């Protein structure tokens, strides 16, 4: 069959690869310029190939690991034990292991014990459906205690979800606890994986394999998807139209509604899943700022929620002694900061960074890049399962496989790969 895949991110390229293996003629369309891979694509900065938005994988990410293996890149997959921290009360506290939690001075001893028990309860819960009706806020307050919610979890939920924080479902937090536990090596170590040269290398390889299998990767926005007279589908791109038997769309449901004329009831449902945007600043410093990989900022009003010193966990010869750091902020796309001038964003972020690391001076900044993603994180709300779109759409032959359909897990490359495989099996037999 002639099949179009719209979107060259993890989901689209995996689906394209699977469909090519099944002998179909595949064309992948990608509207963004620059490297392939969507949110997981690379940037070249200070001579290094590194993700535009920080990424790692977990030891439990079986679909992702098997795809890396299948594409011949497993020799480039590195596993390292991460040192994580939490910034609160003006300093970074170690926060990798249960022992770190017990030693954490930001909470009273009973608060720490209740938090630990809540994590264990979440991990022991096998069926997420009981958590569909309870918000993360209520579940955490009831199980970890009000103190833990106010001092630890509320600043995190607020930073990540803003005005949607109170409606985030208990399933989302359950999944976070479960996932972190699944990548432990022993009690105190957390093992994280990274692809040498950035995950973009995997997406370039998939595109290469699709082309070797006779397919095409076209750098163009696809839209105006409609039924044609012969019973197939057609799409417009670059001033022309092409005909396909099947089309798989892998952008957000909101983008799908712009690209195809779909019935109003379906469009209403598709647009009901809210998405947060993300600003991610990659910073190169003359020296390393900490000995942590991942620091969560648990302070209300902080301009970013994550400080990730990538060079501490996955050093690359191109980094030398320099620090490669990501500062990440989730926000509504309507927040004026999302559209703000890069220098303004950098100024806000660097002022706060100077408070986190008082020895850090702006003179140490060698380079920085500001990246923005409009469709970065679906908000997993209460009874999210009722909002989930099926892969098929009302337009026969048109399918959607997007981050918002990943549930009860949260978005991630592993689930994108699994979804791409599922969509390919459904569409291409």
Q: Among residues 94, 223, 232, 315, which is the contact residue for ligand FAD, using CB under 6 A?
A: 223
Residue number with CB closer to ligand FAD (46 or 82): 82
**Contact between residue 410 and residue 172 where contact means Cβ atoms under 8 Å apart:** yes
Tell me: does residue 217 bind ligand FAD (CB under 6 A).
no
Tell me: does residue 247 bind ligand FAD (CB under 6 A).
no
**Gyration radius from the chain CA atoms:** 22
The span from the CA of 136 to the CA of 173, in Å, is 6
Of 123-131, 333-341, 344-352, 369-377: span binding ligand FAD (CB under 6 A): 369-377
Q: Among residues 24, 27, 55, 398, which is the contact residue for ligand FAD, using CB under 6 A?
A: 55
Measured CA distances, 149 to 90, 101, 153, 155, 268 (Å): 19, 14, 5, 9, 34
Tell me: does residue 39 bind ligand FAD (CB under 6 A).
yes
Tell me: does residue 298 bind ligand FAD (CB under 6 A).
no
Tell me: does residue 18 bind ligand FAD (CB under 6 A).
no
The DSSP H or E segment spanning 81 is strand 77-82
DSSP one-letter string for 26-38: EEEE--S-SSSSG
Of 27-35, 101-109, 118-126, 156-164: span binding ligand FAD (CB under 6 A): 27-35
Measured CA distances, 204 to 38, 42, 413 (Å): 11, 10, 15
Would you state the structure tokens that stand for residue 364, as one six-digit string?
């140490």
Residue number with CB closer to ligand FAD (36 or 289): 36
Would you state the structure tokens that stand for residue 198, as one six-digit string?
């950035």
Q: Among residues 4, 12, 156, 368, which is the contact residue for ligand FAD, using CB under 6 A?
A: 12
Tell me: does residue 144 bind ligand FAD (CB under 6 A).
no
Tell me: does residue 408 bind ligand FAD (CB under 6 A).
no
Tell me: does residue 35 bind ligand FAD (CB under 6 A).
no
Residue number with CB closer to ligand FAD (114 or 372): 372
CA 319 to chain centre: 24
Tell me: does residue 207 bind ligand FAD (CB under 6 A).
no
In the complex, minimum distance from the CB of residue 357 to ligand FAD, in angstroms, rounded to a whole number: 22
Tell me: does residue 324 bind ligand FAD (CB under 6 A).
no
Q: How many residues bind ligand FAD (CB under 6 A)?
A: 38
In the complex, minimum distance from the CB of residue 136 to ligand FAD, in angstroms, rounded to a whole number: 19
Q: Among residues 85, 145, 155, 412, which is the contact residue for ligand FAD, using CB under 6 A?
A: 412
**Contact between residue 393 and residue 262 where contact means Cβ atoms under 8 Å apart:** yes
DSSP one-letter string for 215-249: -EEE-S--EEEEE-TTSSEEEEETTEEEEESEEEE
Phi/psi region, residue 89 (left: phi>0; alpha: psi -120 to 50; beta: rest), is: left
The span from the CA of 415 to the CA of 367, in Å, is 33
Q: Among residues 373, 398, 423, 427, which is the contact residue for ligand FAD, using CB under 6 A?
A: 373
Of 5-13, 105-113, 282-290, 334-342: span binding ligand FAD (CB under 6 A): 5-13
Residue number with CB closer to ligand FAD (58 or 87): 58
Q: 257: which residues sit within 8 A by CB, 6+ positions away?
A: 267, 270, 271
**Positions in the binding site for ligand FAD (CB under 6 A):** 6-12, 29-32, 38-40, 53-57, 221-223, 250-251, 255, 259, 278, 280, 328, 373, 375-376, 403, 411-414, 416
């Amino acid at each position: 069959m002639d099949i179009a895949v719209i979107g060259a991110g993890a989901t689209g390229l995996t689906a394209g690869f699977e469909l090519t293996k099944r002998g179909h003629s595949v064309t992948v369309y990608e509207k963004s310029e620059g490297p392939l891979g969507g949110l997981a694509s690379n940037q070249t900065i200070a001579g290094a190939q590194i993700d535009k938005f920080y990424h790692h994988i977990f030891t439990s990410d079986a679909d992702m690991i098997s795809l890396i293996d299948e594409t011949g890149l497993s020799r480039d997959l590195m596993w390292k034990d991460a040192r994580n921290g939490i910034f609160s009360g003006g300093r970074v506290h170690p926060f990798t292991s249960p022992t770190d939690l017990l030693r954490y001075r930001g909470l009273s001893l009973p608060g720490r014990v209740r938090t630990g028990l809540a994590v264990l309860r979440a991990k022991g819960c096998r069926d997420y459906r009981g958590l569909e009706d309870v918000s993360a806020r209520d579940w955490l307050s009831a199980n970890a205690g009000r103190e833990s919610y106010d001092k630890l979890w509320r600043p995190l939920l607020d930073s990540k979800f803003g005005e949607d924080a109170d409606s985030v479902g208990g399933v989302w937090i359950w999944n976070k606890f479960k996932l972190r536990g699944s990548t432990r090596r022993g009690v105190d170590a957390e093992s994280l994986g990274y692809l040498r040269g950035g995950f973009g290398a995997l997406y370039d390889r998939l595109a290469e394999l699709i082309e070797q299998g006779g397919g095409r990767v076209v750098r163009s926005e696809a839209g105006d998807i409609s039924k044609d007279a012969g019973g197939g589908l057609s799409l417009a791109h670059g001033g022309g139209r092409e005909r396909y038997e099947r089309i798989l769309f892998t952008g957000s449901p909101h983008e799908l509604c712009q690209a195809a004329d779909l019935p109003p009831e379906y469009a209403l449902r598709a647009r009901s899943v809210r998405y947060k945007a993300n600003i991610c600043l990659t910073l190169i410093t003359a020296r390393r700022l900490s000995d942590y990989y991942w620091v969560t900022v648990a302070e209300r009003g902080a301009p970013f929620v994550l400080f990730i010193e990538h060079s501490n966990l996955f050093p690359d010869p191109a980094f030398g002694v320099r620090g490669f750091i990501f500062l990440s902020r989730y926000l509504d796309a309507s927040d004026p900061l999302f559209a703000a001038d890069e220098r303004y964003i950098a100024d806000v972020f660097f002022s706060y960074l100077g408070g986190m690391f008082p020895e850090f001076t702006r003179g140490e900044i060698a380079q920085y890049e500001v990246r923005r993603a409009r469709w970065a994180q679906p908000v997993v709300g209460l009874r999210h399962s009722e909002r989930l779109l099926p892969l098929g759409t009302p337009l026969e032959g048109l399918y959607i496989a997007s981050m918002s359909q990943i549930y009860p897990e949260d978005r991630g490359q592993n689930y994108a790969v699994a979804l791409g495989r599922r969509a390919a099996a459904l569409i291409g037999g």
